[in-house]
Amino acid sequence: MFGSESLPALPPAFDYAGVTVFALTGALAAARDKQDIVTFWFFAVVTGVGGGTLRDLLIGAPVFWIGDATYLGIGLLAAIAVWLAAPRLERLKTLIWLDAVGLGAYAVIGAAKALSFGVGPIVAVAMGVLTACFGGVIRDVLAEQPSALLKREITISAALLAAASFVTLTFAGVPPIWAGVAGAVAGFGLRAGAIHYGWALPAFGDPRGKGKA
């Protein structure tokens, strides 16, 4: 086990930014279904804090948003922003790209939080992947949409790359903030390539060699 005194957490601004991005995707999902403003807020909050909530419960940390109403405010602002801007956006494309940004950033945030609570590096990577993916799963279930994780494109692998890069660089002595930036960029880059170029891993039994991850 590794103590939090040797592995400082990322600045709170990183967490706020990650929640904001995922909250926007939640509100966009509500816009796609033509929901009311209260439902926009609900989708935004649940999507923004869902992955981090499960992570905190699993690592025995205080659930991060319970003592900080800022996260509810972030959800409200995201809901209002999407409510006002959604008519002028290509909503599906915007959601996909925001989700890619959030995936890379939140994988790093989740791994950093786990490390700061003394979790070992391999489990910290797993916590990063869970943090990055679970909020989107909740969003898609609420919106009755197929989860992005079940589509034939790279998703989980991008979160895995982001979290693993951050953890590896941190233990190599890179300052957490720069390790975080590098990990998030790596994860986003892989996901962006999957979106733009259709990258995919081989799937079981698929003769074409395409898969999902």
Across all residues in the chain, what is the average pLDDT?
Answer: 87
Burial degree of 204 (CB within 10 A; 0-12, 13-18, 19+): exposed
Residue-wise pLDDT for 175-197, tens only, equals 999 999 999 999 999 999 988 88
Say what the pLDDT of residue 142 is: 87
User: pTM to 2 decimals?
Assistant: 0.86
Nearest to residue 187, comparing CAs of 154, 142, 210, 209?
Answer: 154
Using pLDDT thresholds of 50, 70 and 90, give the confidence band for residue 72. very high
Q: What is the rounded distance in angstroms from the CA atom of residue 186 to the CA atom of residue 20?
A: 20
Residue-wise pLDDT for 12-28, tens only, equals 888 898 899 999 999 98
Residue-wise pLDDT for 123-175, tens only, equals 999 999 999 999 888 988 888 887 766 666 688 899 999 999 999 999 999 99
Q: How many helices (H) and strands (E) does the chain have?
A: 7, 0
